[in-house]
């Protein structure tokens, strides 16, 4: 009998099992599922096809805490974690095994209530698809997953691959998806909900399916803006055709992250479903580009282990930034590199820098430093060598697993350069090469200026020198007009409002059409001078929910005699999906005694309603925060907070737990919370 030892490498909460891929090659999984919303479970079977690479007497399949497992016609054992099929398997032979199962997953497949409907969706990375579907946790074994899913006919089912058939049953529909190409099990995707979709086509003929909630038809364009342009750009820039049959993007409520690059089927947070006003402050463009880039870097070629995680995240971050440069320009590209540089320097200053090849590195390292490495490598070897190397790397290792050396080897070949020193400095070392990064940023006028402001006395307030000053005009001094420079100068001005040119600068900023300048005015003018009062009031009409939120609060605080007027003006504005403006408005309306006093209870009840479990967690968190500031929790809000402390999204869960702990120290809430927590355990 052969024994297999498992090597566990943990990174970012993601555990990779180096398992049996050297002796068994799983080729295909033909999956048939029925999803049960009432029992929050899955019933189905999977027929696996696999090839034997060495003679063995057993194979295993991962399945975590399943309610029922059966492998008909086989001698098998299930230990609650793995299905072991015992049989003599011979090298060079192909086999099939049918696994029937019932699962009630605690993670990786999530069941959510929405207002008047519900959703079901998956998240395999970091959670393991084997929590709801028998599969292989090892990302080094790539399998073609073809899914047939039966569900209520009133709902849409989306999965990896191409929809080949819809079988209409009595009250359900069976959706058949064909994948054609292999992928790692963690990339299996399933999303069920009330959706409509629009389909666009790439220049190369790939169908791009854009899903949305029926009530959000007006938000489709701003949400998915630039999708086709980015798709076409990435195909051309990468130099390798998009590797899958189609591409789908599906929004879901309370997602664990911003997005997830499931093969051919990105699932993303519906917090990015936006209107035109939201676009300037909070849009899907970067996440859209990032998850799309992963279809090549992560899905087509997949890391062997966490040591090489930057091959996923660094590449996706870099190519997303290139796609954004194609849309927003060179200054935008360098300004983002500057932002990444500042994050990396802050991490370094905190003594938390690690090597890019350290599997325990932070997201900042994998994403931001990874992107920087590719920028510097391209500068070092040149465009032609870099792009050719990427093409060779993807084509040679398509549908396979890779290590860093696989990529570096291709770059060395195409460039004719020995990259040993580059790898040692940029990938293997903990050291952050700050001076080299600064030199790269100085290639761009915008980032050169920002670096100068940050690191030198230029434009500082020194009245004894005419060389260091704040100009009286942003437009005259900076005709190029890229907003980070103007915002930086404006923020600098606010540190010394007595400077001679201060008022001229503020007036010009108020008259500007630049939304980011208006936000800087709103945020930095906590005390509103009388001469700028009417200008500041005009910010309530600005085309930005961030500006409206800041301006509403500051005006309410600074001009108490006009509070009712400001509340009347903003009573129909909701803001982002978290209702940032509406929830602030409700809090201010409740806190203003003479404002529609007969409706105060109505305002309060509305705020409490946003804490309910069917609401998006971002909205719930905002509502809980305002209730805490007002000191006005009732039993229903506390009950919703206790429920939130068990939420699947760890950030929201942590917030709820911390707030419960704080409230428990208040005698008015202590016993109520204790009773609710006890009842919640039952």
pLDDT in tens, 47-63: 999 999 999 999 999 99
**Which residue carries 């005709």 as its tokens?**
479
HSE at residue 193, side-chain half, CA atoms within 13 A, is 28
* Whole-number pLDDT of residue 543: 95
Q: How far is CA 566 from CA 32, 345, 536, 553, 573, in A?
A: 57, 42, 12, 9, 12
User: How far out from the chain centre does Cα 411 lie?
Assistant: 30
* Whole-number pLDDT of residue 16: 34
Give mean pLDDT, residues 250-263.
98
Instruction: Give percent above pLDDT 90 in the chain.
Output: 84
Give mean pLDDT, residues 303-325.
98
The band of 316, judged by pLDDT with boundaries at 50, 70 and 90, is very high
Give mean pLDDT, residues 600-613.
98
- Which residues touch 250 (CB under 8 Å, ≥6 apart)? 121, 158, 191, 193, 195, 211, 265, 266, 267, 268
Determine if residue 298 is left, alpha or beta; phi over 0 gives left, psi from -120 to 50 gives alpha, anything else beta. Answer: left
| Topology given in CATH for the domain delimited by 195-295 | Neutral Protease; domain 2 (1.10.390)
| DSSP assigned state of 473 | -
CA dist., res. 405 & res. 426, Å (int): 14
- The answer to whether 128 and 629 are in contact (CB under 8 A) is no
* DSSP secondary structure, 340-379, as one string: HHHHHHHHHHTT----TT-TT--HIIIIIIHHHHHHHHHH
Q: Indicate the angle between helix axes 617-630 and 580-590, nearest 10 degrees.
A: 20
Tell me which residue of 471, 449, 467, 469 sits closest to 459, measured CA to CA.
Answer: 469
State yes or no: pLDDT of 500 exceeds 80: no
**Which residue carries 């500031």 as its tokens?**
629
The band of 10, judged by pLDDT with boundaries at 50, 70 and 90, is very low
Which neighbouring-strand residues pair with 299? Answer: none
State yes or no: pLDDT of 5 exceeds 50: no
State yes or no: pLDDT of 464 exceeds 50: no
The band of 590, judged by pLDDT with boundaries at 50, 70 and 90, is very high
Q: Give 507: exposed, middle or buried? Use CB within 10 Å, 0-12, 13-18, 19+.
A: middle
* Whole-number pLDDT of residue 6: 28
Neighbours of 452 (CB within 10 A): 13
Phi first, then psi: give them for residue 35, nearest 5 degrees: -100, 135
State yes or no: pLDDT of 537 exceeds 70: yes
- The answer to whether 393 and 323 are in contact (CB under 8 A) is no
Give mean pLDDT, residues 515-528.
94
* Whole-number pLDDT of residue 678: 81
The band of 173, judged by pLDDT with boundaries at 50, 70 and 90, is very high
- Which residues touch 468 (CB under 8 Å, ≥6 apart)? 457, 458, 459, 460, 461, 462
Does 301-446 carry CATH code 1.10.390.10? yes
Give mean pLDDT, residues 89-96.
97
* Whole-number pLDDT of residue 496: 77
The band of 461, judged by pLDDT with boundaries at 50, 70 and 90, is very low
324-374 tens-digit pLDDT: 999 999 999 999 999 999 999 999 999 999 999 999 999 999 999 999 999
CA dist., res. 595 & res. 565, Å (int): 10
**Tokens describing residue 64:** 């975590």
Q: Give 313: exposed, middle or buried? Use CB within 10 Å, 0-12, 13-18, 19+.
A: buried
User: How far out from the chain centre does Cα 25 lie?
Assistant: 32
Q: Where in the chain is the domain with CATH 2.60.40.1730?
A: 1-189
CA dist., res. 502 & res. 495, Å (int): 10
Pairing relation of β-strands 68-70 and 24-36?
A: unpaired
**Which residue carries 């060179």 as its tokens?**
330
State yes or no: pLDDT of 208 exceeds 90: yes
Q: Where in the chain is the domain with CATH 1.10.390.10?
A: 195-295, 301-446
555-579 tens-digit pLDDT: 999 999 999 999 999 999 999 999 9
281-301 tens-digit pLDDT: 999 999 999 999 999 999 999
Give mean pLDDT, residues 132-160.
97
* Whole-number pLDDT of residue 642: 95
**Tokens describing residue 206:** 């790939």
* Whole-number pLDDT of residue 322: 98
Mean pLDDT (the chain, rounded):
93
* Whole-number pLDDT of residue 2: 30
- Give the global pTM: 0.94
* Whole-number pLDDT of residue 455: 74
| Topology given in CATH for the domain delimited by 1-189 | Immunoglobulin-like (2.60.40)
State yes or no: pLDDT of 503 exceeds 50: yes
């Amino acid at each position: 009998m052969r024994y297999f030892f498992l090597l566990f490498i943990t990174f970012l909460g993601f555990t990779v099992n180096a398992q049996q891929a050297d002796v068994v090659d799983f080729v295909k999984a033909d999956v048939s599922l029925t999803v049960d919303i009432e029992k929050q479970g899955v019933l189905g079977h999977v027929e696996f096809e696999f090839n034997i690479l060495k003679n063995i007497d057993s194979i295993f399949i991962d399945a975590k805490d399943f309610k029922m497992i059966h492998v008909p016609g086989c001698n098998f054992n299930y230990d609650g974690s793995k299905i072991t099929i015992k049989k003599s398997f011979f090298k060079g032979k192909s086999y099939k095994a049918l696994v029937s199962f019932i699962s009630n997953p605690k993670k990786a497949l999530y069941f959510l209530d929405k207002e008047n409907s519900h959703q079901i969706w998956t998240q395999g990375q970091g959670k393991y698809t084997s929590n709801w579907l028998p599969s292989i946790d090892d990302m080094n074994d790539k399998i073609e997953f073809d899914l047939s899913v039966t569900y209520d006919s009133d709902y849409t089912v989306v999965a990896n691959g191409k929809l080949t058939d819809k079988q209409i049953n009595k009250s359900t529909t069976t959706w058949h998806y064909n994948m054609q190409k292999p992928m790692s099990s963690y990339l299996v995707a399933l999303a069920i909900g009330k959706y409509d979709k629009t389909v666009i086509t790439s220049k190369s003929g790939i169908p791009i399916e854009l899903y949305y909630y029926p009530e959000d038809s007006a938000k489709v364009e701003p949400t998915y803006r630039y999708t086709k342009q980015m798709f076409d750009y990435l195909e051309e820039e990468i130099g390798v055709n998009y590797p899958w049959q189609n591409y789908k993007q599906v929004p879901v409520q309370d997602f664990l992250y911003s997005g997830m690059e499931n093969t051919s089927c990105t699932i993303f947070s519906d917090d990015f479903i936006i209107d035109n006003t939201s676009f300037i402050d909070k849009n899907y463009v970067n996440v859209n580009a990032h998850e799309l880039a992963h279809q090549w870097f992560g899905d087509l070629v997949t890391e062997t282990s966490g040591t090489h995680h930057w091959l996923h995240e660094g590449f996706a971050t870099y190519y997303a930034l290139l796609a954004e440069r194609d849309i927003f320009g060179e200054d935008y590209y360098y300004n983002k590199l500057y932002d990444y540089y500042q994050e990396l320097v802050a991490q370094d200053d905190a003594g938390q820098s690690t090597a890019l090849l350290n599997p325990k590195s932070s997201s900042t390292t994998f994403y931001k430093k990874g992107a920087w490495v590719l920028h510097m490598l391209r500068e070092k070897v040149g465009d032609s060598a870099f792009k050719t190397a990427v093409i060779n790397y993807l084509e040679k290792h398509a549908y396979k697993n890779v290590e860093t050396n696989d990529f570096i080897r291709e770059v060395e070949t195409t460039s004719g350069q020995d990259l040993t020193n580059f790898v040692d400095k940029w990938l293997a070392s903990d050291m952050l090469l700050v001076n080299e990064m600064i030199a790269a940023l100085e290639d761009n006028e915008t980032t050169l200026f920002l670096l100068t402001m940050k690191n030198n006395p230029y434009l500082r307030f020194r009245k004894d020198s005419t060389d260091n000053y704040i100009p009286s005009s942003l437009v005259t001094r900076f005709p190029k007009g890229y907003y980070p420079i103007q915002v930086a100068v404006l923020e600098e001005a606010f540190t010394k409002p007595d400077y001679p040119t201060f008022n001229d600068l503020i007036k010009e900023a108020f008259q500007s059409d630049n939304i980011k300048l208006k936000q800087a005015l709103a945020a930095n003018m906590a005390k509103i001078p009388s001469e700028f009062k009417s200008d500041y009031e005009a910010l309530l009409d600005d085309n930005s929910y961030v500006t409206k939120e800041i301006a509403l609060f500051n005006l309410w605080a600074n001009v108490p005699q006009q509070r009712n007027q400001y509340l009347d003006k903003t009573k129909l504005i909701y803001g982002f999906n978290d209702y940032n403006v509406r929830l602030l408005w409700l809090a201010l309306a409740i806190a203003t005694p003479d404002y529609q006093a007969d409706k105060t209870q109505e305002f309060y009840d509305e705020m409490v309603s946003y804490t309910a479990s069917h609401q998006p967690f971002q909205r719930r968190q905002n509502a809980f925060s305002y209730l805490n500031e007002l000191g006005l929790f009732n039993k229903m809000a506390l009950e919703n907070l206790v429920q939130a402390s068990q939420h699947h999204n760890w950030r929201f869960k942590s917030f709820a737990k911390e707030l419960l702990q704080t409230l428990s120290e208040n005698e008015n809430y202590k016993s109520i919370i204790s009773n609710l927590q006890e009842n919640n355990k039952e």
